[in-house]
Each structure stands twice: as structure tokens, then as C-alpha cells.
A and B are shown apart, each in its own frame.
Chain A
């Protein structure tokens, strides 16, 4: 008999009770819809900001790298039948992530027809920064979670499967890593390797694996104790075969789902670091960096109260909070669905 037969039979995921519980939770649907909107905005960023790309002079490098002339930008980027539309949406040139500047005025400008969300100090276009910032956010979130997951799965897997002194050593390393708050670790990394978005992502990934390794190790220990693993061992399967064919596939599902819910909090953390000046450089399309523009106007200045410049700080911070809220609603619903008791 194949040891796999001893496992309970699985129905397809969309018919499972877990998914039903998820589907019936109104908060889950709200979170999902919000996230879909964010994905669509991120994907359509070039189309949404085509007018800005066409009119603002400092957007030229981006337009040139897309192989366009200024007159044809709007038609090319808003027509899904054209190749440029897809090229810009899927893999735009790097120069497009620099927010175009409509001038050099130190005073922010309120929303207008050309700049629907207004301009920050230094005349960076806020709509542009927010839509392209959504792309940066997804990029940071998924990349950091992906890398930490990869490290976490390997280390947690080795630790849980081998056990003994290896397990002990790895868990002590985990304890030491937990003594550093993320912010402090990022500070160390940026002092040694310089500050920038790449360094921040690296640092977050290096700190992030710890939780996953712990969780995966615990899950593996639970799976290892189950009957079908004993059965496989009794049938003479090698330890590696047992590990990859029986233990990992049965442990990894929950971890993947729970980890993907961390994308939101990673993005909020990364934005916070950009806000402090440790992440994205000034003018890069990143939400945290956009919020840091607010610092000059939040105390009220000679030019007016904070609410005279509301668009500088309200738009970016609301977008950021909605993004975090969407992921948390989703994450909450997923955890409830996986573990109905809590």
C-alpha cells in the first residue's frame, strides 16, 4: 500500500470548508476587493499617469526609454491593443520610477486638472508617486516575503527534520536574531552597506526568515509524528524521500498562506524606513518617501495651517493605511478560516 493513501482524502480547495468559511466572511470579501483595486491601479499605473508623462518635461527619460515620442504617449499607453501598453504595464524602464517634477517650487500646489492630486514641495506629482508607488509596494512586499520564506523553509526544515544538536544550534541562532528589532537591524545594514531600497529589502529579508523557520520547524515536528510518515519509514523509504515526498508537502501549505499575509506589514515597515530616510531616495515613487514630504508642512508654517496643504500628507498616508487594512482584513479572515476556534 502507498503511504500516501493513509492520508485523509482532499477535496479541491474551492470546495473545502476552509474556503467556504473564508467566502462567507464579509470582511474577507472587503479585503480582497480592496487588494484587487490596488493590483489594478499598480498594473495600470503607466496608463493612469500617461498625461503627466506626456506633459511634464522631467518625465522624458522614461518616455524615451519606452521608445515613444511626446505627442503619442497618451494614445500609446492607454490603448491595450498596442505593444507599448503591455510593455509599460509589465516591465517599465527603471527611469519611470522617478516621480516627474513639474517645476522646482518649494511650495506644494493644490490639485488641479493637470495634477489631479496636487504637487508636493519641489513639485513632485502626487498622483504619479502614489500609482507607481503601488508597484514599488507590491514589489518590495512579495520580494521580501519570498526571500525570507525561502531561507525560513530551508533552515526551519533542516532544523525540524534533523533534530538533535543541529536543531538546538539553529534555535539558539533564532533567539539571538529575535533580540534585534527590525528597525535596528536595518540601521546596522544601511550603515555598513549604504542606504537604499535594495539594502532595506535585504535587511528585512534577513530578519524576516526567523519567524517562518520557527513556524515551519514546529509544523514539521507535528507532521513527522503522524502515522503515514511511520508507514513510509516502515516501507523502507529513505529519509530524504520521506522529507520531500511526505513531510514537506503536508507542512508547507499553511506556512505559505500565513506568510503571504505578511506582505502588508512588510510594506508598512519599508515605508516607515523610507520615511526616516533609510530607504528609497527622494523623488523615488515610494509611499513612505511621499509621506516624508509631509514633515515640512505638518506643524503649520508661515504659509498656513497643515490643512492648507492637506493633499501633501492625506493622500499618501490614507493610501498606505488602506493598503495595510486590506492585507490585515484578508489575513484575519484567512486565520479565522484556517482555525475556526480562535
Chain B
């Protein structure tokens, strides 16, 4: 087990290096002058691009350039974003908690809902609830995040004036801007509790209603389908029959014996979901006006602000690799057969 984990941990730096190489390789399609603009903070500096090119070795060979660039990246110098008028790293620091909070609130309800519905569908196979789950899953699967978000926005916000957009109510947003609320984590619902301000937390939660409904409906479809089919497999297996034959109550058989094993593929799905979640949360941030990473970097891409996009690409590539690593290790722990291969 330990060797398995160590071996996977040792692979991580190699993968991260490969990711940075891919990103840097793609940047080579830009001219040195364009790449030098990354490091220019103002109009005056943009006048002296030649000096920047020399300073960052942008006219040297590929490996020298890559080395210099990597060193800058490791020191946190990702360049200057035109979109946010500040260094890329500063913007990422500011906006990461917003995206992370949103991701947390989207991830767990989706997973829980998907697992619950998938289990119900498998236990009551071909009954009414199974049919409902199937219809639900195929519609959710065909519905892109942005369409669902727009529909909810029109009905809940535009028509019924419920739930609000943005992260918090305007009054509280003003208080935050004035510095009346201490920032501990940058996550609004948590900061509210830490400040002893329940109204802030409640307001934050209220504003999360639409994003969570949107994402749960769209993304839990996949989980339901996988769990339903793996649960059906397990329910037909010998040891479940044995458990039933022993006279165990049906709920114990279903939950303790069957679902435990059926849930293994869900770990894989949860890993894949992470990359999917990033994509979905970008749409959600933009449509529901959350000031997170997506709401900054997508318009940055449209405005050709490439330091911002490269910064996001590095961040996303790294975090997806780390998520994959965690999934692999979890997989090894849940299913010991894997780590012995």
C-alpha cells in the first residue's frame, strides 16, 4: 500500500512538468514581442519591450527560454493581466476562494443526490421511481449548464424575484467593500460564521440556491446512471443473495452489502467530475455573476489577455492532476485489489 502511494506521488512532479511543457510549447506560437507583453505592467514599460525580451531570455533557445519561464512561474511571477489591471497571481489569490467555495457547494449535493437517486433506481428496478430517474437522467444529460442556468434565472429571478444573483445581497456587499467584515477565508458563508454574522451566511446561502439547483440537475445524471448499473450488478451477486438468505433486513442488505461495493466506480466518476465541475462553474460564475476565476478568465480569453489564460491553464492543469492523484490513492484504499497490480 505504502509503495503504491509513494510511487504515485513520485509520478506527480513528472506530470506537472509535462503540463507546463505543453502550455509553454503552445505559447511558442506567439512572437517574442507578444510574449514580452506578459511582463509589461504599464504603457511606459510596453515602450521598452526589447529590454524585457532580453531580461527574460525571450530571444534565446527553447530550453533556455523554458527554464527562465519556469523559474518565473515557480517564483509566482505569472505576468500581468490586462483584464484585471494587476498581476495574475494577485487576481488568482483574490478570486480563488470564491471559486473554491462555489465548487464545494456544487460538488457535494451533486454527488449525494446522484448516489441517492441511483441507489433508489436500482433497488426499485423497472418500477415507477426507476422510470422517473431514467427520464430525469437523460434530460439532465442533454441539458447544457448554461441553458439550465438561463431557464432558472428567468423563472426564479426574473419572474419570481427569488434568490438573487451575485454572491450576497447588495447591502452586505457594500459592507464588505467598506471593510466592515473581516476576511478570514474569503468564503462568504464561512466568513459570516467566523464574524458571528449569521445574516451574511444566510444571504450567501440564499444566493447559492440557483447555482446548486442548476448544477445538481445537470451533473448528477452521470452519477445516477453509473451507480444504477453498478448497483444492479452487485444486487445480482452471490454474496448479496447470501446476506438475504441469512435473513438480514432488506435495508441492511441494500445499504451495507450492496451499495458499499457499487460505490467504487463512483470514485472514478467523482475524479472526472472535478474537471467537469471547473468547466460548469465557469459558466455558473458568469451567468450568476460570481466574482470567481471563471468570471475573470473567460472574458480575459475573449480580450486576448493571454497571461491570465496561461495562469488559469497552469492552475487548472495542476489541480486536475492532483485531483487525479487523490482519486487514484482513494481507489487503492477502497479497493485493495488495485494497489497490488
User: What is the CA–CA distance of A58 and B30 in the complex, to the nearest angstrom?
Assistant: 37
Interface residues of A in 284-342 (CB under 8 A from B): 291, 294-295, 298-300, 305-307, 313, 317, 320-321, 324-325, 327-329, 332, 342
> Are the CB atoms of A179 and B324 closer together than 8 Å?
yes
> Are the CB atoms of A181 and B229 closer together than 8 Å?
no
Partner of A307, one of B19, B159, B283: B159
If A176-B18, A271-B144, A328-B142 touch, whether A184 touches B313 (CB-CB below 8 Å) is: yes
> Are the CB atoms of B147 and A192 closer together than 8 Å?
no
> Are the CB atoms of A179 and B320 closer together than 8 Å?
yes
**How many A residues touch the partner, as a band?**
35 or more
If A179-B324, A291-B150, A307-B154 touch, whether A278 touches B302 (CB-CB below 8 Å) is: yes
User: What is the CA–CA distance of A245 and B1 in the complex, to the nearest angstrom?
Assistant: 44
User: What is the CA–CA distance of A328 and B302 in the complex, to the nearest angstrom?
Assistant: 31
Interface of A is mostly: helix
Partner of A172, one of B18, B316, B324: B18
> Are the CB atoms of A291 and B146 closer together than 8 Å?
yes
Q: Which residues of B contact A264 (CB under 8 A)?
A: 142
Task: For B286, give the chain A residue with the smallest CB separation.
Answer: A276
User: What is the CA–CA distance of A38 and B275 in the complex, to the nearest angstrom?
Assistant: 31
Q: Which residues of A contact B153 (CB under 8 A)?
A: 298-299, 306
> Are the CB atoms of B297 and A187 closer together than 8 Å?
yes
Check: A180 CB closer than 8 A to any chain B CB: yes
Q: Which residues of B contact A178 (CB under 8 A)?
A: 275, 320, 324
Q: Which residues of A contact B278 (CB under 8 A)?
A: 181, 183-184
Shortest CB-to-CB span from B293 to chain A, Å, is 10
Cβ proximity bits B147-184 to A, threshold 8 Å, 1 near / 0 not: 10011011101110000010000000000000000000
Partner of A324, one of B22, B144, B287, B298: B144
Q: Which residues of B contact A189 (CB under 8 A)?
A: 26
B residues lining the A interface (CB < 8 Å): 15, 18-19, 22-23, 26-27, 29-30, 138-139, 141-147, 150-151, 153-155, 157-159, 165, 229, 275-276, 278-279, 282-283, 286-287, 297-299, 301-302, 304-306, 309-310, 312-313, 316-317, 320-321, 324
Pull 14 A–B residue pairs with CB atoms less than 8 Å apart, ordered by A: A176-B22, A179-B19, A180-B317, A181-B275, A181-B278, A181-B279, A187-B298, A191-B305, A275-B146, A278-B301, A295-B287, A317-B147, A317-B151, A321-B147
